[in-house]
Amino acid sequence: MIIAILLVREDSMKITVIGVGLVGATTADCFRRFGHIVSCVDVDGERLDELAKEGFQVSPEPENADFHFVCTPAASVDEVLARLRGVTGLPVIRSTVTPGTTKHLMEAHGTHICCNPEFVRAATALQDGLNPWRVVIGECCPTHGKLLAEL
Ligand SMILES: NC(=O)c1ccc[n+]([C@@H]2O[C@H](COP(=O)([O-])OP(=O)(O)OC[C@H]3O[C@@H](n4cnc5c(N)ncnc54)[C@H](O)[C@@H]3O)[C@@H](O)[C@H]2O)c1
Ligand SMILES: [Zn+2]
């Protein structure tokens, strides 16, 4: 029998991870290990079922949170931001996007967005995620950049 003990810290943040493939699942796993409340969102219902079996909260749609980490393929990021309209929380793009994309998306969706690119290697994703060799934050404003840096 496997007993999973998940510790939630007092200053825990509510985080949705949208697109839970390699990068998203690693992001979700790391934040959960650090004691945050994580919900996984994906268009692939089978993927959500797999993650639910691993004890993750899953949802087909993003709900109100402190942060939304967008980890989909780049082509889906615009659509995900459209779905985040009316949902509270700071969108953070973790997908690999071309320079200028975040600025363009902020204008298109009339919202603040930060950028926090992922550098994990597929073979050692969890170790890399827990011990990143660098953390890069692209901030829309100092307030949100500071919030993200604290997280
Ligand atoms: N794989 C890597 O080593 C790596 C490293 C750094 C950055 N990246 C970048 O991170 C991003 C994700 O890469 P990955 O390897 O995790 O991809 P992946 O294909 O493993 O996972 C993407 C997930 O997003 C889901 N998805 C697609 N469209 C969606 C939508 N509209 N709404 C919700 N979910 C949606 C898919 O169902 C899938 O589960 C890409 O931009 C990639 O370039 C990848
Ligand atoms: Zn901002």
Task: Pick out the chain residues at pLDDT < 50.
Answer: none
Report the separation in Å between the CA atom of 88 and the middle of ligand 2, taken as the mean of its atom positions: 13
Ligand 1 lined by 118 (C-beta under 6 Å): yes
C-alpha to C-alpha distances, 79 to 76, 108, 151, nearest whole angstrom? 5, 11, 25
CA atoms within 13 A on the CB side of 6: 15
Output the 3-class SS for 44-57.
CHHHHHHHHHCCCE
pLDDT of residue 71: 98
Structure tokens at 111: 């919202």
Ligand 1 lined by 58 (C-beta under 6 Å): no
Ligand 1 lined by 80 (C-beta under 6 Å): yes
Ligand 1 lined by 123 (C-beta under 6 Å): no
**Which residue, by CA, sits nearest to atom 36 of ligand 1?**
19
Instruction: Quote the pTM value.
Output: 0.94
Residue 70 backbone dihedrals phi, psi, to 5 degrees: -90, 115
pLDDT digits (tens, 9 = 90+) for 30-51: 999 999 999 999 999 999 999 9
Domains in the chain (CATH in brackets) are 14-150 (3.40.50.720)
In this structure, the dihedral spanned by the alpha carbons of residues 63, 68, 72 and 77, taken in order and rounded to 10 degrees, is: 90
Structure tokens at 125: 């994703």
pLDDT of residue 139: 97
